[in-house]
Structure 1
Amino acid sequence: MAPAGSVQPQTGARSFRPAYRLCKTDEYSSVFAFRKAVRGRYFVLHYRPSESPTARLGVVVAKKLARRAVLRNLIKRMAREWFRHTRETLPHHDLILRLNAPAKDVTRADLRQDLAALFKRLPK
């Protein structure tokens, strides 16, 4: 038992386990080769039906579109967090979220709205 006031790591259905991630180059290549995508204002969501029992996510943020590492990491964290909370409602696809527009003066609210719209438009 943990002492009172300590923070326990989150476990269970809402974590971002390795089973929910795309890691290998071949996995990314197969999703890009499938050539299906949903486009938003700032992101493109590439997808491919998968045999895995759940949706899996990969995130690509080019240095050309988000120059600072702080911004690139923020965008990746936001994407993973959104996926973590909506994974159970998503179809069993391999997904790659790719930044498609410069994110220099973009607010977090704009990014969240674009993420929400993309994941809603994902075909079942």
Structure 2
Amino acid sequence: MTSEGSHDFARVRRIVKTDEFSSVFRLRPAQKTAHFVLYTRSNELPHARLGVVVAKRFAPRAVTRNTIKRVTRELFRVAQLPALDCIVRLARPVNAKTGPATTAALKAELRVEIARLFASQAPRAPKVVSP
């Protein structure tokens, strides 16, 4: 772990229990992209929490699944979201088992999609109304 607190992903910032996942999944998706679905629910904590679901059928290789989780956590940390429980779920295949497990192009595409999901949930700056 690094000494900078902003780079860790402590257990309190994760959704880990099955019933916590279920309570967020019961709600309608907040946002969709080509490969991902974001589910959100407000929580009573002073910070946002994240859960990531990457099914083996949509990302057959462990390297790909781990890359998706790593990129998602990284973008979540920098997103500065309000007190929400967020679950990012891979909903469509990102690559085939025959091609490379990860590429720079795939990582870039994942970053764009996941950043778009989190940007939709970020608090908006208040509009300044001039007199």
TM-score range normalised by the length of the shorter chain: 0.7 to 0.9
The reply to whether residue 101 of structure 1 matches residue 92 of structure 2 is yes
The reply to whether residue 12 of structure 1 matches residue 5 of structure 2 is yes
1:109 match: secondary structure:
helix
Q: Which runs of 5+ in 1 are unaligned?
A: 1-7
The reply to whether residue 92 of structure 1 matches residue 83 of structure 2 is yes
Distance 1:36-1:100 versus aligned 2 partners, 3 A rule? closer
Amino acid at match of 1:91: P
Which of the numbers 42, 46, 52 marks the counterpart of 1:49?
A: 42
Whole-Å separation in 2 of the counterparts to 1:53 and 1:36: 23
Q: Which runs of 4+ in 1 moved over 6 A?
A: none
**C-alpha RMSD over aligned residues:** 1.7
Aligned length: 115
User: What do residues 91-121 of structure 1 show as CA deviations (whole Å, max 9, x unaligned)?
Assistant: 2100000011111066111110001111111
Q: Which runs of 5+ in 2 are unaligned?
A: 97-104, 124-131
The reply to whether residue 34 of structure 1 matches residue 34 of structure 2 is no
The aligned counterpart of 2:111 is 112
Q: CA deviation at 1:37?
A: 2.2
Does structure 2 conserve the Cα–Cα contact (< 8 Å) formed by 1:57 and 1:95? Answer: yes
TM-score when scaled to structure 1? 0.84
Identity %: 47
TM-score when scaled to structure 2? 0.80
